Amino acid sequence: MGCPGFKAAGVSAGIKKPGIKDLSLLYSEKPATVAAVFTKNRVKAAPVLLDQQRAGSGRCQAVIANSGNANCCTGEKGMQHAIAMAKKAAAELGIAEELVQVASTGVIGVPLPIEKVEAAVPDLVAALRPDGFTELAEAIMTTDTIPKVVSKTGQINGQTFTVTGVAKGAGMIRPDMATMLCFVATDVRADAGTLSHALKNASDQSFNRITIDGDTSTNDTIILMANGVSGIDIDSADASPAFQSVLDDVLFSLAKAVVKDGEGVTKFVEVRVSGAATKEDATSIADTVAHSNLFKTALFGEDANWGRILAAAGRAGVPIDPERIDIFFNEVMMVENGIGCGDDAEAEATKVLKLPEFTVGIDLHMGDAGHTVYTCDFSIDYVKINADYRS
């Protein structure tokens, strides 16, 4: 699995336990156009600050990333270490330092062992290969249990293009970029404005619609590189929709994989709000329900406690009429006009709750707007994982 004109690799630098991959590289054989989106957290890691500066140029040729250490809240040394990572990778690749982006994920507040990173870069570059995307995905994992790689192709005027993405994320996940690293490679040609527009649209339909625990990290980064080796130009109005569709598909597939692999997750749940007066109202209610710890623990307990859904909708800060609301678990109507549908409906809804994936539908009967957020249950294992994360 790969993308024409790109190579990838992942190796162990000794940041984490010996033998565990923790340093990765994505490399384009020619300079590429770049677009990126970053965390909205006001506390930003050094790599994020560095990448924000460099992404403005619209050009990139490589991304080096480590796991096991966030390189965040580490003072002036943190920025020096982020620059050093890029500089070492650039030297080994023989490219300009400014064409290297940097990403980190892991524990906050601990100095990055830059000597280990620099020592491992030659082996990392030597390990680059066209089908190295799985190794890259493995090397950015933290509490993830599986590497996340998605590759899809599309066609424009009979010519084929490819979009391949990797992502990590299992905790500290919520909309507004979610909390993860995501690197995407494509062989189309585009200017920076077109690529940025496409990435924002795809992010809004995917990573900005997922939540695991409602927490937002300091290191969130999505980087999209387009090297143009396919010869397909997406800057025209005719070509852009075809590319957007494939990019949307790749990012949405990665976003779903992040939620399904969430810390302690046993349920993948679509919270679908319909019949809202405005899109903003639908979004507020979907987000509030999807983030509700009481709702999420009920999902884990397979308890059709629809009162928690109604209560969350009522505190979303938007006008609703409780006596109009219907609630569904898949196709099972649990609540009609704000009133529970009885024991038989609850028994059928409980069967739905035992499934690994299902939809919770909330029809407000206030208008025609809707919104969907993808969430999960809140399990005992989530607490265990995060109670001793640093150890």
Q: What is the CATH number of the domain that holds 291?
A: 3.10.20.340
Q: Closest by alpha carbon to 82, among 40, 37, 114, 128? A: 114
Residue 1 placed within a domain? no
Residue 212: predicted pLDDT: 67
Residue 318 placed within a domain? yes
Q: Whole-prediction pTM value?
A: 0.87
Same domain, 173 and 35: yes
Residue 13: predicted pLDDT: 97
The domain boundary residue, chosen from 206, 236, 260? 260
User: Exposure of 370 by Cβ count < 10 A (0-12 exposed, 13-18 middle, 19+ buried)?
Assistant: buried
Residue 211: predicted pLDDT: 80
Residue 59 placed within a domain? yes
Residue 314 placed within a domain? yes
Same domain, 214 and 283: no
Strands 59-67 and 6-11: unpaired
Same domain, 216 and 272: no
- Phi-psi map region of 298: left, alpha, beta (phi>0 left; psi -120 to 50 alpha): alpha
Same domain, 216 and 288: no
Residue 353 placed within a domain? yes
Same domain, 255 and 307: no
Long-range pairs for 303-311: beta carbons < 8 A, 24 or more residues apart: 303/350, 303/353, 304/329, 304/334, 304/346, 304/349, 304/350, 304/353, 306/334, 306/335, 306/340, 306/349, 309/360, 309/362, 310/335, 310/338
Q: Which helix (H) or strand (E) is 23 found in, with range?
A: strand 23-38
Residue 175: predicted pLDDT: 46
pLDDT in tens, the chain (391 residues): 899 999 999 999 999 988 999 999 999 999 999 999 998 888 999 999 999 999 999 999 999 999 999 999 999 999 999 999 999 999 999 999 999 999 999 889 999 999 999 999 999 999 999 999 999 999 999 878 889 999 999 999 999 999 999 999 755 455 454 447 999 999 999 999 999 999 999 998 888 888 866 666 788 899 999 999 999 999 887 778 999 999 999 999 998 888 877 676 889 999 999 999 999 999 999 999 999 989 999 999 999 999 999 999 999 999 999 999 999 999 999 999 999 999 999 999 999 999 999 999 999 999 999 999 999 888 766 666 666 655 4
Strands 221-226 and 181-186: parallel
Number of domains in the chain: 2
Residue 214: predicted pLDDT: 60
Residue 105 placed within a domain? yes
Same domain, 285 and 229: no
Same domain, 281 and 378: yes
Same domain, 365 and 317: yes
| Catalytic center residues | 179
Phi and psi for 252 in degrees, rounded to 5? Answer: -65, -40
The residues with which 276 forms a beta bridge, in sequence order, are 369
Distances 145 to 109, 139, 187, 245, 257 between C-alpha atoms, Å: 24, 12, 29, 28, 11
What is the token pair recorded at 150? 């998605």
Residue 39: predicted pLDDT: 87
Same domain, 95 and 192: yes
The domain boundary residue, chosen from 220, 238, 260? 260
User: Within 13 Å, how many C-alpha atoms sit on residue 157's CB side?
Assistant: 11
Residue 205 placed within a domain? yes
Domain extent at residue 66: 6-260
Same domain, 229 and 368: no
Distance, in Å, from the CA atom of 365 to the CA atom of 311, rounded to the nearest integer, reads: 17
The domain boundary residue, chosen from 260, 287, 321? 260
Same domain, 91 and 219: yes
Residue 317 placed within a domain? yes
Q: Which helix (H) or strand (E) is 253 found in, with range?
A: helix 240-260
Helix axes 306-314, 293-300, angle to 10 degrees: 160
Contact predicate 266/300, CB 8 Å:
yes
Same domain, 198 and 161: yes
Residue 199: which CATH number? 3.60.70.12
